[in-house]
Chains A and B, each alone.
Chain A
Amino acid sequence: MGVRSVTLDQLTRLCHDGEWRRAPYPAAPSGFAELDANLPGGGWPVGAIAELMPEAMGIGELSLLLPALSRLACAGRYIAWIAPPYLPYAPALAQGGLPLKRLLIIQTRNAQESLWAAEQTLRCPAFGAVLSWPSAIADKNVRRLQLAAEAGGSLGILYRPTEAAREHSPAALRLRLQPTAKGLAVDIHKCRGGRAGLRLQLSLRAISPTSHCDAVAVHPFTATGS
């Protein structure tokens, strides 16, 4: 008696609306149209961990993130870089549109401290994104960071070596990055709520060297599209 009958018609409409494919997380637009189109919600997963596995350092692994980081920072949230492998070069980041006052560099003495600092910063809602470069990280620790990112509503980025692609990881998004003549090839290795196995070609020249603060169109907490 109490069961509501759902007609086939209604079901079809539901599917067409894309209601069932809604992104599991709100997203922060990456600033690259091809990438956004293939990520659930249209951007980096906010409140989750994304793993980036570049073939080498210096192929555009930071430029890929800069537009999103700039947007988050301009929306009032802090960005933490935990134990970066080289000196983050302020003039380049400023050229990329990142407000330097919102960027905090945290130095640690060992992997354990880095993990702790990452968890603490991810958990704090004042931070919009936390970047970390663990040389090796256990499955269960990624899960801990994932929970911290959920609690703090921030985007956690782990830079990992390409060999890590062979291991399982609870991260919501895993991308392999390879340099190409024109820019960057992005392999979607895993994508919760989206399609994995795609390869995208991004042209890194698409990043304009102007400030992103002038055009904050999307609030980082709200999902775009459905």
Chain B
Amino acid sequence: MLWLCIRLPQLAREAIAGAATAASEHSENSERNLLVQREALDRLAAWAYQWSSLISYATHEPLLWLELGGSCALFEGHEALLARIEAELVQLGYSHICALAPSPTAAALLTHASGQRHVLTRAQLRQRLDDLPLQLLALPAATLAALHASGLRRIGQVLELPAAAIARRFEPETQLYLQRLCAQTSDPRPAWRLPETYSARCEFASEVRTSTALLFPLQRLLLEFQGYLRARDCSVQRFTLEFAHYRHPLSRVTIGLSAPGRDAAQFLTLVRERMHSLLLPAPVNALRLQALEFTAPAIAQGDLFGSDAQPLQQLQRLLDRLRARLGESSIHALQLHADYRPEFGWRSAAPELLAASASSASLAPIAARPIAARPCWLLPEPMRIEPPAQLLRGPERIESGWWDQGDVRRDYYLARTGEGTQVWVFHDRRGGQWYLQGLWA
């Protein structure tokens, strides 16, 4: 087994986005800091799951362990894998110290050591430990003092002591610790479990008043979310952002995609567009990202000849962006609807994305029934008018709708106005009034 230990010395401060440095330092290890650290570690564990299925963390001294023995081959060796993990940590904005060792205890110790922190085998580990100072051992202060008083200065000297002597002089945990340090005995860790749904929270030290200041923590949340999605090998089509305010109910924003995705950069673009039109009632003091439903990843499959998939994808992303900025219902398509009453002759429909090569047969409008010519523009509501002077064509009688209280009895005409506009008017045979309903554009 090969363990990567990531020590996050500044976690409490960095996890509180936008923190004023002084604000959190005086309350070192307070209840609140521990809570913040646990939330951050939970998010990081989900993020780390993409590289390893065995994850563990310790809250007090924020440490995150990943078992990499099984993943190194998959990710082209431990050097390449470590480089990737560290690059993402930098992107997330956490200071970190990584160490690699055959046991989790040793890896944790090496994060405090200076010099070489990557040790792959047990023999190398023993050699590396030899010269390290005694103080690095995570043992009770009394034990360390006793060892120091015995004239021991280096870890190597402690390891050379006979096991029986240590067992007699110190608590049994001491011997167990040393064995785990050298990877000589099993070193079980509580395995962190990947949750079924995703919910990540991020608290701010001070209230955030501008949407630009929200973008950094958002970007981090989305990157961690991307890690979770990769870990589960799934995509989302919908996720929710919750903004917590002081003395105000939560503001909730749902981001929807037209096709499942798991690209943090794409998510961020959508969120950014949405933020443009978002009006929050009060400053924000915490942020939560939540996703409940996941789908299998949409793998972009190109067909053998065409490159249709790419424009279609471009279109999907564009529509997502438009929706994020203009509103969920801002884009619609038109559909014919079989109803004789003109105002019900169409419906708005969700846009359906078709490949460029979709056959024209499937595109040809379905001529449900032959109807007389219709105008291109319809008024939202028929408008009362004076009887028109010049009727050019008509009447076309429409009587329909007796079954749903929308009963109409109308005579339709094509008329011309003084300005030369051609309009579609009807004479309501029940009330005797004239109405304008469309423009012949």
Chain A residues close to B by CB (< 8 Å) = 55-63, 66, 73-78, 84-109, 113, 116-117, 120-121, 124-126, 178-180, 209, 211, 213-214, 216
Residue B1 is within 8 A (CB to CB) of chain A in the complex:
no
Q: A108-B326, A120-B322 are in contact. Are A86 and B335 (CB under 8 A)?
A: no
- The 29 listed contacts between A and B (C-beta, < 8 Å) are A55-B419, A56-B421, A57-B439, A58-B377, A58-B423, A58-B439, A62-B377, A63-B440, A76-B357, A76-B358, A85-B377, A89-B378, A90-B347, A92-B375, A94-B365, A99-B360, A99-B365, A103-B334, A104-B331, A105-B348, A106-B326, A108-B330, A116-B325, A120-B318, A120-B322, A126-B312, A179-B421, A180-B420, A213-B363
Find out whether the CB atom of A91 lies under 8 angstroms from the CB atom of B371: yes
Find out whether the CB atom of A90 lies under 8 angstroms from the CB atom of B346: yes
Find out whether the CB atom of A87 lies under 8 angstroms from the CB atom of B378: yes
Residue B398 is within 8 A (CB to CB) of chain A in the complex:
no
Residues of B close to A124: CB separation below 8 A: 314-315, 318
Residues of B close to A95: CB separation below 8 A: 365, 371, 373-374
Find out whether the CB atom of B376 lies under 8 angstroms from the CB atom of A92: yes
- B412 CB to closest chain A CB, in angstroms? 13
Q: A58-B421, A106-B322, A126-B318 are in contact. Are A101 and B354 (CB under 8 A)?
A: yes
Assembly CA distance A96 to B315 (angstroms): 25
Of chain A, the residue at the smallest CB distance from B345 is A91
Q: Which of B376, B420, B421 contacts A88 (CB 8 A)?
A: B376
Which of B346, B354, B376, B438 has the most CB atoms of chain A within a 10 A radius of its CB?
B376
Of chain A, the residue at the smallest CB distance from B330 is A107
Find out whether the CB atom of A117 lies under 8 angstroms from the CB atom of B441: no
Residues of B close to A213: CB separation below 8 A: 360, 363-364
Residues of A close to B362: CB separation below 8 A: 101
Residues of A close to B419: CB separation below 8 A: 55-56, 179
Residues of A close to B401: CB separation below 8 A: none
Residue B251 is within 8 A (CB to CB) of chain A in the complex:
no
Find out whether the CB atom of A105 lies under 8 angstroms from the CB atom of B365: no
Which of A88, A89, A178 has the most CB atoms of chain B within a 10 A radius of its CB?
A89
Residues of A close to B378: CB separation below 8 A: 86-89
Assembly CA distance A62 to B440 (angstroms): 9
Residue B13 is within 8 A (CB to CB) of chain A in the complex:
no
Residues of B close to A84: CB separation below 8 A: 377
- B164 CB to closest chain A CB, in angstroms? 76
| 0/1 interface trace, chain B 340-351, chain A, CB 8 Å (1 if under) | 001001111001
Residue B77 is within 8 A (CB to CB) of chain A in the complex:
no
Assembly CA distance A66 to B374 (angstroms): 14
Assembly CA distance A126 to B309 (angstroms): 11
Q: Which of A57, A74, A76 contacts B441 (CB 8 A)?
A: A57
Q: Which of B315, B346, B357, B365 contacts A78 (CB 8 A)?
A: B315
Residue B311 is within 8 A (CB to CB) of chain A in the complex:
yes
Residues of B close to A55: CB separation below 8 A: 419-420
Q: For chain B residues 297-356, which have a beta carbon within 8 Å of chain A?
A: 311-312, 314-315, 318-319, 321-322, 325-327, 329-337, 342, 345-348, 351-352, 354-356
Residue B379 is within 8 A (CB to CB) of chain A in the complex:
yes
- A18 CB to closest chain B CB, in angstroms? 32
Assembly CA distance A78 to B315 (angstroms): 9
Residue B422 is within 8 A (CB to CB) of chain A in the complex:
yes
Residue B367 is within 8 A (CB to CB) of chain A in the complex:
yes
Assembly CA distance A157 to B59 (angstroms): 61
Assembly CA distance A102 to B353 (angstroms): 8
Assembly CA distance A178 to B421 (angstroms): 10
Assembly CA distance A102 to B439 (angstroms): 23
Q: Which of A57, A102, A126, A209 contacts B363 (CB 8 A)?
A: A102
Find out whether the CB atom of A63 lies under 8 angstroms from the CB atom of B376: yes
Q: A90-B335, A90-B345, A124-B314 are in contact. Are A74 and B326 (CB under 8 A)?
A: no
Residue B380 is within 8 A (CB to CB) of chain A in the complex:
yes
Find out whether the CB atom of A104 lies under 8 angstroms from the CB atom of B332: yes
Find out whether the CB atom of B326 lies under 8 angstroms from the CB atom of A90: no
Residues of A close to B423: CB separation below 8 A: 58
| 0/1 interface trace, chain B 3-28, chain A, CB 8 Å (1 if under) | 00000000000000000000000000
- B318 CB to closest chain A CB, in angstroms? 5
Find out whether the CB atom of B312 lies under 8 angstroms from the CB atom of A100: no
Of chain B, the residue at the smallest CB distance from A96 is B376
Q: Which of B332, B347, B441 contacts A63 (CB 8 A)?
A: B441
Assembly CA distance A68 to B367 (angstroms): 20
Find out whether the CB atom of A101 lies under 8 angstroms from the CB atom of B333: yes
Q: For chain B residues 95-118, which have a beta carbon within 8 Å of chain A?
A: none
Find out whether the CB atom of A117 lies under 8 angstroms from the CB atom of B420: no
Assembly CA distance A188 to B366 (angstroms): 36
Q: A89-B376, A90-B346, A104-B333 are in contact. Are A216 and B360 (CB under 8 A)?
A: yes
- B422 CB to closest chain A CB, in angstroms? 6
Q: For chain B residues 369-388, which have a beta carbon within 8 Å of chain A?
A: 371, 373-380
Residues of B close to A106: CB separation below 8 A: 322, 326, 330-331
Assembly CA distance A84 to B332 (angstroms): 12
Of chain A, the residue at the smallest CB distance from B420 is A179
- A211 CB to closest chain B CB, in angstroms? 5
Find out whether the CB atom of B334 lies under 8 angstroms from the CB atom of A73: no
Q: A89-B378, A90-B345, A106-B331 are in contact. Are A113 and B325 (CB under 8 A)?
A: yes
Residues of B close to A75: CB separation below 8 A: 356
Find out whether the CB atom of B365 lies under 8 angstroms from the CB atom of A211: yes
Assembly CA distance A62 to B362 (angstroms): 24
Q: Which of B322, B354, B365, B380 contacts A117 (CB 8 A)?
A: B322
Residues of A close to B333: CB separation below 8 A: 100-101, 103-105
Q: A59-B441, A98-B365, A105-B348 are in contact. Are A89 and B321 (CB under 8 A)?
A: no
Find out whether the CB atom of A59 lies under 8 angstroms from the CB atom of B420: yes
Which of A88, A91, A121, A214 has the most CB atoms of chain B within a 10 A radius of its CB?
A91
Of chain B, the residue at the smallest CB distance from A124 is B318
- A114 CB to closest chain B CB, in angstroms? 10
Assembly CA distance A146 to B422 (angstroms): 32
